[in-house]
Amino acid sequence: MSKKVTKIGVLTSGGDSPGMNAAIRAVVRTGLYYNLEMFGVMRGFQGMIEDDIIPMHSRSVANIIQRGGTILKTARSKEFFEPEGRKKAYENLKKHGIDGLVIIGGDGSFRGAQKFSNEFDIPCIGLPGTIDKDIAGTDFTIGFDTAVNTAVEAIDKIRDTADAHDRMFIIEVMGRDAGYIALHSGIATGAEHILIPETKTDVNAMIDSLEEKERRKKLVNMIVVAEGDEIGGANEVAAIIRERLPHMDTRVCILGHIQRGGSPTCLDRLIASRLGYAAVEALLEGKHNTMIGVVNNKVHYTPLDKAIKAKQKISEEWMKVVKILAS
């Protein structure tokens, strides 16, 4: 039988995402409800190594549910991936009596948590906090909905100016390894082409399609490209189009880190709150090395190693939807 958890540390790690604060709030307040002692680890795993660990109370998380970013800050820690760094982190947790961890982050954070948990027998629960929605075992990740809505709002505004000038715009959104932001925002804004890392980009077919649209006097075209597409981001796509279709008035817009910030949407606040609550419940039930997600509107548990290895896959049906609706 696993020993009962009495003191829980919560941290955010890797890239920030809107809704992380809502998740921190839910973890802390659920823990306090069960009379547990709660601690915040500043700057992710680096804060564990440097003993930057603070007690958290109900007031510590007041008025943060609507804020983007993370009050606990976040950092990437190379030191934590060395045995000496993890040992130092463990000693600091032991000093505070922390016997359970909630890690809000992506697959890199989960990889570190799993290694640490296996070495020192500290139960770790992962919450998927990433705008990319690239983790298996959950229909949504904390921050994805906000990032997509930010992209949609920006692309809608760009379409207005594209329409005024009969221009083509190539818009780059975030997604180094996953194209979900590009896919969802592209469909929602009526993009003519969506380029993502998961599918091979047929440059010739894209050029043919643009020429055919031009013949039909369809002069306003929007191409949404994920930064990790195989032929590159928006600048690389624009270079190809300018070379092949030099008469087209082509502009580039890179949305960048605007997609990471901002007040989380209602959906992200709800998901973060639900998962934060479930994380504490899971630790009290003796769960170990588990990621908590939402599948078919139900809380779903996935072993951390499975969440790390498996990636969300984009179905062929979505790509068919793109092709049909953009014609």
What is the CATH number for 179? 3.40.50.460
Distance CA 14, CA 127 (A): 12
**Which pTM value belongs to this model?**
0.92
Instruction: Provide the domain limits for residue 95.
Output: 7-143+264-309
CATH number of the domain bearing residue 130: 3.40.50.450
Contacts (Cβ under 8 Å, ≥6 apart) of 273: 22, 23, 25, 26, 65
Structure tokens at 147: 């990032």
Distance CA 323, CA 90 (A): 52
Check whether residue 57 and residue 131 sit in a common domain. yes
Distance CA 283, CA 152 (A): 37
Provide the residue-wise pLDDT of the chain in tens; the chain has 327 residues: 356 899 999 999 988 999 999 999 999 999 999 999 999 999 999 999 999 999 999 999 999 999 999 999 998 888 998 999 999 999 999 999 999 999 999 988 999 999 999 999 899 999 999 999 988 899 999 999 999 999 999 999 999 988 888 888 999 999 988 899 999 999 999 998 899 988 888 889 888 888 888 777 766 788 999 999 988 889 999 999 999 988 888 899 999 999 999 999 999 999 999 999 999 999 999 998 999 999 999 999 999 888 877 666 777 888 788 878 876
Q: Could you tell me if residue 89 is inside a domain? A: yes
pLDDT value of position 1? 38
Check whether residue 12 and residue 120 sit in a common domain. yes
Check whether residue 18 and residue 101 sit in a common domain. yes
pLDDT value of position 67? 96
**Looking at the chain, how many residues does it have?**
327
Check whether residue 209 and residue 223 sit in a common domain. yes
What total of structural domains would you count in the chain?
Answer: 2
| Contact indicator for 107, 306 with CB cutoff of 8 Å | no
> Which of 238, 260, 282 finishes a domain?
260
Check whether residue 195 and residue 269 sit in a common domain. no
Q: Could you tell me if residue 320 is inside a domain? A: no
Closest to 8 in 3D by CA, of 127, 128, 125, 129:
125
Distance CA 172, CA 174 (A): 7
- Per the residue annotation, which of 107, 132, 145, 268 is the catalytic one? 132
Bridge partners of residue 40, in order along the sequence: 10, 54
pLDDT value of position 306? 86
Q: Could you tell me if residue 2 is inside a domain? A: no
Q: Could you tell me if residue 322 is inside a domain? A: no
Q: Could you tell me if residue 321 is inside a domain? A: no
Q: Could you tell me if residue 314 is inside a domain? A: no
Check whether residue 137 and residue 150 sit in a common domain. no
Check whether residue 217 and residue 98 sit in a common domain. no
In angstroms, what CA-CA distances link 58 with 1, 120, 129, 176?
Answer: 31, 29, 22, 37
Identify whether 132 is a catalytic site residue.
yes
Amino acid at position 13, single letter = S
Distance CA 24, CA 82 (A): 27
φ/ψ of 272, rounded to 5, equals -60, -40
| Contact indicator for 178, 133 with CB cutoff of 8 Å | yes
Q: Any idea of the CA torsion for 154, 198, 137, 324, to the nearest 10 degrees? A: 70
Check whether residue 151 and residue 253 sit in a common domain. yes
Check whether residue 245 and residue 269 sit in a common domain. no
Check whether residue 248 and residue 303 sit in a common domain. no
Helix axes 266-284, 20-33, angle to 10 degrees: 40
Distance CA 281, CA 285 (A): 6
| Contact indicator for 67, 261 with CB cutoff of 8 Å | no
pLDDT value of position 327? 66
Helix axes 203-215, 234-244, angle to 10 degrees: 60
φ/ψ of 294, rounded to 5, equals -125, 120
Q: Could you tell me if residue 230 is inside a domain? A: yes
Check whether residue 112 and residue 180 sit in a common domain. no
Diameter over CA atoms, the chain: 72
Q: Could you tell me if residue 170 is inside a domain? A: yes
Check whether residue 132 and residue 150 sit in a common domain. no
φ/ψ of 270, rounded to 5, equals -65, -45
